[in-house]
Amino acid sequence: MEIKAIRGMNDILPGDIAKWHFVENTARRIFHLYGFSELRPPVLERTELFFRGIGDDTDVVEKQMYTFIDKSGTSVALRPEATASVLRSVIEHGLLGMDPIQKIYSIGPMFRYERPQKGRYRQFHQINVERLGEDSPSSDAETLSMAYDLASALGLGGLRMEVNSLGCDECRQEFKKTLMAFLQDKEKSLCSDCSRRMKTNPLRVLDCKVVSCRQAVEGAPAIENFLCEGCRVHYEKVQSALMAFDVPFEKNPRLVRGLDYYTRTTFELTAEGLGSQNAVAGGGRYDNLIQTLGGPDVSGIGFAFGLERIIMLLDQHAPEKNGCFVVLQEDEAVQKSSLELLSMLRSAQIPAEAAFDKSFKAQMRKAGKSGYPLCLILGQAELEQSIVTIKDLQASSQIQVPRAEVLQKIRSMLDK
């Protein structure tokens, strides 16, 4: 019987890998401009890490984590998000003692047991950023600016950044009381999840996507009106700094995040082409999380990009291969010459491949489907004259070039 992948765990096939490489390499390039370094935490952690870090009354911990008891009797979990794992690593290895400001990113898979849907799977991938040791509103704005720069560099269209402040523990408590009082009369209109949330984490009701819940919270109090003086000034300075960075944004008083650890600045970045579930990135500040996980009293801010959603948006903008497909005749001397040509191209950092066991006609068909812009043709005539025929697969034109000049000509054609 054929064995298939577990539901919600998807293979990333060779035809899509170029898009993944494009996204990952673009992220690394942008983050390097801002002085961020990569960290790679494990995918398996102690379950306690996520209970303490995320909050035990969140949907992630209550319903979605993959947990099991290992052979030592320890409860472990596949990570449902990266922030807690990264901070555990920072604390464990004393990175803040080496440098009190840490700017870190990570790229990798996360795991949540929820109903699979388009762009949202049980194994999914994220690009995560964590900036630790800075309280300045300017550092918040610069982090949001980096997220916007990455989305722009990826060519995502219709970008829209929404920002809000969730305040601190002190001003948020007063807001929660007022919000719970408002929701008391709306409980019959709320979904079952929100009926529970309004008693444990009422801010999450504001984030529910169920139509009846969205209608029920119309006219709800806005947290901006409950901010203490410190949080209000911080929020105003974040907005001013975003303007200085030339990042377009809108205030959204209903914007909250799904995890308990967020404080003050929060944001979400959306793009065209994904329908109602159009968020590609989101995050915010977490001033108490590092201490909660056993580290020093140091604040932080971070965000995550969902790779699967970005890849969906790249379907019409797939990065092209940049190299050559070599087509050769079966003659032994031609084969030997073609191997030398392939080696020369790769030594010059020009991608190149060939299909040695196919007929000349089949090789030409494969070249046309390869995605490479150029096809190099090598036959008995080319060998005798010490030339290479270069075919532009996009323009359907070809030229003959002396073997000694082929690298220079290929480079000039690929650079156009």
Q: How confident is the model at residue 322 (pLDDT cuts 50, 70, 90)?
A: confident
- For 120-134, 247-261, 358-372, which range has the lowest pLDDT when averaged over its residues? 247-261
pLDDT tens for 154-173 read 998 889 999 999 999 888 88
Is residue 57 predicted with pLDDT exceeding 60? no
Instruction: Return the pLDDT at 56.
Output: 59
Q: Which CATH superfamily is domain 324-414 in?
A: Anticodon-binding domain (3.40.50.800)
Q: How confident is the model at residue 276 (pLDDT cuts 50, 70, 90)?
A: low
Between residues 146 and 56, which one has the greater pLDDT? 146
Is residue 316 predicted with pLDDT exceeding 60? no
Instruction: Return the pLDDT at 176.
Output: 85
pLDDT tens for 219-232 read 888 888 999 999 99
Rg value, the chain, Cα: 27
Is residue 318 predicted with pLDDT exceeding 80? no
Instruction: Return the pLDDT at 240.
Output: 96
Is residue 52 predicted with pLDDT exceeding 70? yes
Q: Which of 125-139, 303-317, 390-404 has the highest mean pLDDT?
A: 125-139
Give domain limits for the chain: 14-168+228-313, 324-414
Instruction: Return the pLDDT at 275.
Output: 64
For the residues 180-186, what does the mean pLDDT come to? 83
Instruction: Return the pLDDT at 369.
Output: 87
Is residue 134 predicted with pLDDT exceeding 70? yes
Instruction: Return the pLDDT at 172.
Output: 83
Is residue 102 predicted with pLDDT exceeding 80? yes
Protein fold of 14-168+228-313: BirA Bifunctional Protein; domain 2 (3.30.930)
- For 190-194, 244-248, 316-320, 360-364, which range has the lowest pLDDT when averaged over its residues? 316-320
pLDDT tens for 60-96 read 666 788 899 999 999 999 999 999 999 999 999 999 9
For the residues 188-203, what does the mean pLDDT come to? 79
